[in-house]
Amino acid sequence: MHVQLDYGKSHITLDLSKLENASVISGRSIDPLANLSSEVSLKLQHPTGKHRLADEIRQKNAESVLIIINDITRPTPYEDILPPILEELHKAGVPIEGIKFLIATGIHREMTADEIRTVVGSELVDTYEVINHNCDEEDNLIYMGTLKFGTEFYVNRHCVDSDFVMVTGVIAPHYFAGYSGGRKSILPGISGRQSIKHNHALMASEEARTCNLDGNPVHLEMIDAALKVSVDFMVNIVTDSHGRAVKVVAGDVEEAWLEGVQIGRDLFVTHIDELADVVIACAGGYPKDINVYQAQKAIDNAARATAPGGTIIIVAECPEGLGEPTFENWMFEAKSPDDVLMRFSSGFELGGHKAYSLAKVVKDKEIVLVSGLDDDIVRRLFFTPAKDLEQALQYARAKHGPDHKCIVMPKAGTIVPWLEVVR
């Protein structure tokens, strides 16, 4: 049996016959939607916790609509999602000039013109105004008060100035917010850097972890932020591990989103009965492995399936290197993982939170990275470099023996292993 591991815009083939004791976890499979656009259109007419989108527009007498969209690091099938939304808005009387798109970059770099066309299509770019959010552009940030755990909340001016605000995106497990999608379009999506920083610092809480919302301060503040700006309507997609849309949820930013969360939990949480000596984890290919910063999600999930002292082989091309300056500085300035953990405890910095998450993993697990990065850079991350997957497999075999327990995660960025504890 062969397993395909996406690598950048190509792939690497893993021959499972070379592994003595291996299992593959890839999440539950359900049929993808036959027609995503039609399903979106249906949900716009019959949303959860809201009236039909066109009726919501009319009730508010909305003349200006802001649609918040994901950046390129979060693949979203906008070619199918946006046309029915725009059709519904125009039916409600909103003119072309009354509709703007705001890209929820968070602290990521702004998207290039070519990337924007790739994400939403040339026709939309040529017809509507599309704006990159910039978390450091203070003149375009409005103060909205203090959130639940003390975060001073600044949000993009366009969100406040618009009559009607819509959020769009994809729901998937998130390593400290619980799940992505919904309220995350606002915080961190279109918030100021300091607001994002204070909110993300809450990830040190024991409750801020993958797939957990109960008592999770990061999530609770994100919901608070979405309510403060009065998000009027949400359209989110649940995709399977192959990126195919399987469900659409629409309507209230909290109620409808929680519907999607439940679907996502059933899809992505995979129960395991034993931790593995070696976990082979694929970040998911482009753009999920565009840099180490993005590939970290796969490492975090893989760590959940790896025994203490075990080895994680992570397959991620990383053509853009580490991906974020602060993250890079934290890793390169540290002499050990403990240095990173100490730095986090003494003062939170955005970008540093990814370094913190990686440091927690490499404290008791080894990470072998198959990538396009120079070996010296890989070692400065406290990882072990491998020129290819075969070399990584040989290394793991030598370390753990020929009959080691192995788990393969072809979609490690979205699949969450869950160890069943028998009491």
Let me know if 200 is a catalytic residue: no
Pair type for strands 141-146 and 233-239:
unpaired
C-alpha distances in Å from residue 107, one per residue of 73, 223, 233, 264, 340: 12, 19, 24, 25, 20
CA atoms within 13 A on the CB side of 62: 28
C-alpha distances in Å from residue 49, one per residue of 68, 92, 219, 260, 419: 20, 19, 20, 13, 35
Identify which of 9, 31, 27, 26 has the alpha carbon closest to the alpha carbon of residue 245.
31
d(CA 243, CA 288): 11
Catalytic residue (choose from 2, 46, 51, 108): 108
d(CA 157, CA 135): 11
Dihedral of the CA atoms 89, 130, 135, 189 (nearest 10)?
40
Let me know if 108 is a catalytic residue: yes
Catalytic residue (choose from 158, 174, 198, 404): 174
d(CA 92, CA 164): 12
- The secondary element (H helix, E strand) that includes residue 249 is strand 245-251
Per-residue tokens: 43: 């949900």
DSSP string of 153-218, one letter each residue: EEEEHHHHH-SEEEEEEEE-EETTTEE-SGGGGTTTTTB-HHHHHHHHHGGGSTT-STT--TT-HH
- Contact indicator for 276, 307 with CB cutoff of 8 Å: yes
Q: What is the DSSP letter of 122?
A: H
d(CA 71, CA 82): 14
d(CA 221, CA 145): 12
Residue 331: partners with Cβ closer than 8 Å, 6 or more residues away:
322, 340, 355, 358, 380, 381, 382
C-alpha distances in Å from residue 392, one per residue of 10, 165, 291, 374, 376: 19, 48, 19, 15, 16
Report whether the peptide linkage leading into residue 287 is cis, meaning its omega lies within 30 degrees of zero. yes
Active site residues: 108, 174
